[in-house]
Each structure stands twice: as C-alpha cells, then as structure tokens.
C-alpha cells in the first residue's frame, strides 16, 4: 500500500487530536446498540494516536479486554471535481471496524499495518460526518500475535498471550484524510542496481483509469536526472549517489498518471522516494552495495511512558539521536512492523533495518515458562493452524506491500522465535518463506531462531538466507556463570558454522535484565555491572567468528510487559531505561561501536 503523500494533485488532512472514547461495557454490546449511529453515550477524552491503556487513571481502561470505541466529528474538505476522498488509518491494534455516520466503510485485522477506505460516496463536501472506530484488542489462535481468552477464578475475562510485551491497544498511528483525482496511482515498485557510476532503476506503476503514465527521477535537490514514459520500465541515473549505511541519500520517482484530454484532462502525481542500493547474501556475508555490512544495534519496541505504542515524533527523533550517539547503524522492528514515519526516517538517516512481521509468540514452549500460560502444542488444529498460516501470509504480503520501496530494509524477518523444531513447523513455514520470496525477490528472508532450536534440532534453517539467533547464555541459561555461558555460546556457534558455512549469522538478541542504578562489585545478575560483563563476553566471542555479521542486543530500552514474577515493572534488558537514561553499559558499548564505525566508515 502506498504511503499518503501530498503532491500537486493530493491534499492531506490530519484527524489526530483528542477524540471521544468509551469502553464497550459487555463484549460487543456497543455493536448491538449501534453506538456508531449517534454520539457515544458516556464519552471521555482520548488522544489519537496513543494506546488507551495508560492514559486514564482507571484500572478498567488499563486492563480492558474487548471493544473500545473512538469517535469524532470530521469537517469534510471541499473536494475538487471528481476527486476521491480517502480515509487512512496508520494502525489500529489489533482489529478495527470503521463507520462514516451510519455506514460501515472499513474493517481490518492486524494491529500494525495501515488500511484505507474510499469514503467519497458517504460524505458531503463542505459538510461534517461522525467518524467511529471500534477497536478490538482480543487475540486468538488465528491472529498475529496469537493469544487466547481465559476466565479467572473471580470470573474476569483476561487476555493471555505468548509474547513478552504488554498488549497495548488503541489507534496507534495517525488517522488521515487525503484526496486524489479519479485517475490515481495505486502502486509503485522500485528496484535498483548500479553499474559503475550509473544507477539503474527498474519501476512498475499501477494506476486506476490512466491512459498514460510517465516518471521523472529527481535527486535530493529536486533536479531531474532521468525521465521515462510508460507504466513499467528502466531508467539510468548518471553519476549516481548510492544510498549507504550512515548516508541515506534519497531520490524521488515522480509518477504522473493522466486520463482524458482538453477540459476533461486529469492527472495524478505521486512522489515515491527510493534509494539506489543493492543487497545480497554471499559467502556468509550480507553485502550492501557489494560490501560486507556488520549490524550494530538493537531489537527495539514501540513503547514509552503514557503513550504506550502510540507513534510520537519527538520520541522517534530522540531514539534515533540516542542510537547514533551510541554508534549503532541498525535495528530490528521487533516484534511487528513499525510506524511508516519510522521507516521513512530510517531511510533518511541511513539506518539499516531488519523488518519483522507481528508473528511473535508462535511457541508455546518458551512462553509457558515465561508467562505461566498453559503448555499446549504450538501447531495443532486447535492452536496455530492453517487459518493462522493464512493470516500470517496476509501479514507478510501487507508488510512487503507497505515497505518494499524503503532502502533501509535489507532483510525480512517473517517470525520471531517460533517453534522450528517439529515437522509441523517446517510444514507451516515452508510456504510462508515462499510467499515472502514471491512478494520480494530482491531481499533475503530469515526467521529469528529461539535458543531451543539449536543446529541439531532446527528444521527450517536451510529455507532461509541468514541465521538470526536470540541467545541468553548467562541469563536464562548458565545464569550468572559467564565462563560456562561463553563455552556454550562458542560450542553452539561452532555447530552453526559447520552446518551452514555459507550463511551469515546475526545475533538478534542477547543480554540480561538490568536494574538501572544497581551496582555490584561482584557483577552479579540484575546489576549494571553484570550487563556490561555479559555483553562484553558476547562481543569477545563475536569478534572471533567471521561468520557473525551482526550484534543487535536486547533491547534498546526497557519496556512494558504483562505482569509476571520474572518481570519487575516490565522487561529491564534495555541499554537505556524506559525514559531513555543510559545504563552504565551504554557507555562501554558506545566505545566499541564508535571504534567500529571509525574503522568501517559507517
């Protein structure tokens, strides 16, 4: 899906702000009572975008399971001629039904990707309408991430799930109204390469109702550097400036779609940004522009005080400043697609991104230990099944459709720590890897591997281009015993290198929970000193293995989780606290990463 961009033919209006809000009192009672057909009966204020959970002082809102209703009045812009008016929601977690006045205009499942509705026929230009969104935060075995509802001994319905972050819900990203002409660019795909100093840009445009399509390539200053006619083709950019890690040079493919002639002539203009760069996996290296790339950075979360998972521009820019201060050059969108603004910003700042679907928690084995949830088989007709796989395939398609033109994305992660040790897991994942490759033949594909899926047990590694490992030697295993942890880590790495000598290995998680301010002469677990010791051990090991091409520690910052006896106010594995103060280790890792940046040049 194309991002909403303004242009000579497109206007955008934001509907962000304070909306009316009400919890559905009894599962779906609001639906039966048609709450969308009138102002909400007892509304309270709720900011958009934000998670609703931490905004009010009510436990009921914080712990709500079921539908929550958002509503606001919308002034309809004057619409020119045959222009269309589109409503766009950046993400609603986890599912949404949307009404314009009494008319249902959209439904969407999947809490981290955008959806749209053409509402032209349902509103009056210059008038107003009531916009209602029913937000459903319930997870089932057929959603991603999966979960299930349970009833407590006291009779309360609660949401259980197998992933380690709080089930924040709400309208998490911007709500926009935008216009485009009746003739409309609906999709653009750009792939790039280069020969010597010449950039090669292959493009494909889909446009509704267009008689003619043409493209202009503009450089970062807006100067035209190439041009072509036709809905598909190739253009060459002389003296190209490549998009590189640390130097996010961007071009724009300005797409023109024209219909009609004379008085009847209409034209849509869509500016599609792109960078010229290549990605390839070869000889156990990940190459960007033909050069080996080493990932320095973190798994992250969209998570912060008050706003939960709501997108926040100030926080986004600050987080990038912190990452750059530390010498990081990359991150993973653990464990779901991030806001489009984040992907745009990574493009601009030259950050390298591993882009992940919301397939987290497809592993009842680990989660049983972590959350106290019941241990049932991961793959079975009653749990993760064919319908889940269909939903998973849809998420892969939607993610790639949204993010395919971002130069920052160098690798698709189609799941985090699923069970990959059973024959059923291979049956489940083989077709999904094929879906990813079919949607994007240009980028490598991986699955983030869990500690139980050691080389002797893993059943999917050969389907994938890279080995991505989440390892907690020294924490969940060999707790506090770094000498044994180092032995086990080296032994496992030896196993991967022997089994998959051509595949690069990226450490996508490692590190202990660390209470900020806890110092310990004996560097015992939970202290800042232990975090430094454990990460330093890992880094020493990584440096001995040329197959290791990346270190993304867990996590960039502390984050909220469900309550559990191993979580003290959330997960504390951050390099920074939840309010972004550096822990001691941040300075130690900074020294390492800045030295690497100086040596490698990015």
Summarize as ranges the residues that interact with ligand GCB (CB under 6 A): 164, 335, 416-417, 470, 509, 554, 571, 573
Q: What single string gives the DSSP state of each residue in 141-166?
A: TTSSS-EEEEE-TTS-EEEEESSSS-
Q: Measure the CA–CA gap between 557 and 386, rounded to whole angstroms.
A: 35
CA dihedral 118, 180, 409, 414 (to 10 degrees): 10
Of these residues, 116, 398, 486, 509, which one is catalytic? Answer: 509
CB nearer to ligand GCB: pick between 470 and 527: 470
Give the pairing type, strands 291-292 and 285-288.
antiparallel
- Find tokens 């008689």 and name the residue: 211
Q: What are phi and psi of 92, to 5 degrees?
A: -130, 125
Count of alpha carbons within 13 Å of 146, Cβ hemisphere only? 23
H or E, element range at 315:
helix 313-325
Question: Nearest approach, Cβ of 273 to ligand GCB (angstroms)?
Answer: 31
| C-beta of residue 489 within 8 angstroms of C-beta of residue 477 | no
Question: Nearest approach, Cβ of 362 to ligand GCB (angstroms)?
Answer: 11
Q: Measure the CA–CA gap between 590 and 586, rounded to whole angstroms.
A: 6
Question: Nearest approach, Cβ of 373 to ligand GCB (angstroms)?
Answer: 14
206 is catalytic: no
Of these residues, 254, 398, 417, 486, which one is catalytic? Answer: 417
Q: Measure the CA–CA gap between 464 and 483, rounded to whole angstroms.
A: 32
CB nearer to ligand GCB: pick between 94 and 573: 573
CB nearer to ligand GCB: pick between 141 and 161: 161
CB nearer to ligand GCB: pick between 274 and 338: 338
264 is catalytic: no
Q: Measure the CA–CA gap between 101 and 119, rounded to whole angstroms.
A: 11
Question: Nearest approach, Cβ of 291 to ligand GCB (angstroms)?
Answer: 29
Q: Measure the CA–CA gap between 138 and 135, rounded to whole angstroms.
A: 9
Question: Nearest approach, Cβ of 572 to ligand GCB (angstroms)?
Answer: 9
Question: Nearest approach, Cβ of 470 to ligand GCB (angstroms)?
Answer: 4
CB nearer to ligand GCB: pick between 270 and 412: 412
| C-beta of residue 157 within 8 angstroms of C-beta of residue 151 | yes
Q: What single string gives the DSSP state of each residue in 232-298?
A: EEEEEETTPPPPBTTB---EEEEEEEEES-GGG-EEEEEEEEE----EEEETTEEEETTEE--EEEE
| C-beta of residue 268 within 8 angstroms of C-beta of residue 181 | yes
CA–chain centroid gap for 202, Å, is 26
Residue closest to ligand GCB (Cβ):
164
Give the pairing type, strands 445-449 and 467-470.
parallel
| C-beta of residue 188 within 8 angstroms of C-beta of residue 255 | yes
CB nearer to ligand GCB: pick between 350 and 418: 418
CB nearer to ligand GCB: pick between 47 and 525: 525
CB nearer to ligand GCB: pick between 35 and 473: 473
In 3D space, the residue among 380, 307, 362, 385 whose CA is nearest the CA of residue 339 turns out to be: 307
In 3D space, the residue among 119, 254, 256 whose CA is nearest the CA of residue 183 turns out to be: 256
Beta bridge pairs of residue 203: 190, 233
Q: What are phi and psi of 262, to 5 degrees?
A: 55, -130
CB nearer to ligand GCB: pick between 9 and 413: 413
Question: Nearest approach, Cβ of 378 to ligand GCB (angstroms)?
Answer: 15
Question: Nearest approach, Cβ of 194 to ligand GCB (angstroms)?
Answer: 36
Question: Nearest approach, Cβ of 73 to ligand GCB (angstroms)?
Answer: 40
Report, as residue numbers or ranges, the catalytic residues: 417, 509
């Amino acid at each position: 899906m194309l991002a909403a961009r303004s242009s000579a033919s497109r206007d955008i209006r934001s509907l962000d702000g304070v909306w009316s809000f009400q919890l559905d009192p009894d599962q779906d009672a609001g639906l039966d009572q048609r709450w969308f057909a009138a102002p909400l009966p007892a509304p309270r204020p709720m900011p958009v975008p934000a998670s609703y959970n931490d905004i009010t002082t009510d436990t009921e809102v914080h712990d709500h399971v079921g539908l929550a209703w958002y509503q606001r009045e919308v002034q309809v812009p004057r619409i020119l001629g045959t222009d269309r008016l589109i409503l766009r929601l950046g993400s609603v977690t986890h599912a949404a039904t949307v009404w314009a006045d009494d008319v249902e205009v959209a439904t969407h499942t999947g809490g981290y990707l955008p959806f749209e509705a053409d509402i032209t026929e349902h509103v009056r230009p210059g008038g107003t309408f009531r916009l209602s969104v029913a937000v459903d935060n319930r997870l089932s075995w057929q959603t991603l991430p999966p979960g299930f509802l349970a009833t407590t001994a006291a009779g309360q319905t609660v949401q259980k799930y197998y992933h380690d972050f709080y089930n924040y819900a709400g309208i998490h990203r911007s709500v926009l109204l935008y216009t485009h002409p009746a003739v409309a660019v609906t999709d653009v795909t750009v792939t790039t390469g280069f020969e010597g100093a010449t950039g090669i840009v292959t493009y494909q445009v889909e446009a509704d109702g267009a008689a003619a399509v043409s493209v202009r390539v503009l450089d970062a200053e807006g100067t035209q550097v190439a041009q072509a006619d036709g809905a598909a083709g190739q253009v060459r950019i002389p003296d190209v400036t490549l998009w590189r890690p640390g130097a996010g040079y961007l071009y724009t493919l300005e797409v023109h779609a024209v219909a009609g002639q004379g008085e009847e002539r209409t034209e849509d203009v869509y500016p599609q940004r792109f960078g010229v760069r290549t990605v390839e996996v070869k000889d156990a290296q990940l190459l960007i522009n033909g050069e080996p790339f080493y990932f320095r950075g973190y798994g992250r979360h969209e998570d912060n005080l008050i706003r939960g998972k709501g997108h926040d521009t100030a926080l986004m820019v600050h987080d990038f400043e912190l990452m750059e201060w530390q010498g990081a050059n990359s991150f993973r969108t653990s464990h779901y697609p991030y806001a489009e603004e984040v992907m745009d910003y990574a493009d601009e700042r030259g950050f390298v991104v591993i882009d992940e679907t919301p397939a987290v928690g497809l592993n009842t084995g680990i989660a049983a230990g972590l959350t106290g949830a019941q241990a049932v088989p991961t793959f079975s007709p009653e749990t993760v099944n064919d319908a889940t796989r269909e939903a998973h395939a849809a998420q892969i398609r939607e993610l790639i459709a949204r993010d395919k033109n971002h130069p920052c994305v160098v690798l698709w992660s189609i799941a985090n720590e699923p069970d990959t040790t059973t024959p059923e897991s291979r049956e489940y994942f083989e077709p999904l890897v094929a879906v990813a490759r079919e949607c994007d033949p240009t980028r490598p594909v991986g699955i983030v591997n869990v500690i139980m899926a050691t080389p002797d047990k893993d059943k999917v590694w050969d389907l994938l281009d890279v080995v991505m490992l989440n390892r907690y030697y020294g924490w969940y295993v060999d707790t506090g015993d770094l000498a044994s942890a180092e032995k086990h880590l080296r032994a496992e790495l030896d196993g991967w290198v022997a089994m998959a000598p051509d595949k690069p290995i990226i450490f996508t998680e490692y590190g202990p929970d660390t209470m900020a301010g806890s110092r310990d002469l004996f560097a015992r677990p939970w202290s800042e000193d232990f975090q430094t010791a454990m990460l330093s051990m890992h880094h020493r090991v990584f440096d001995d293995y040329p197959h290791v091409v990346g270190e993304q520690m867990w996590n960039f910052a502390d984050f909220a989780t469900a309550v559990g006896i191993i979580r003290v106010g959330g997960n504390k594995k951050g390099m920074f606290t939840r309010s972004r103060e550096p822990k001691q280790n941040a300075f130690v890792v900074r020294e390492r990463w800045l030295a690497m940046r100086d040596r490698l040049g990015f």
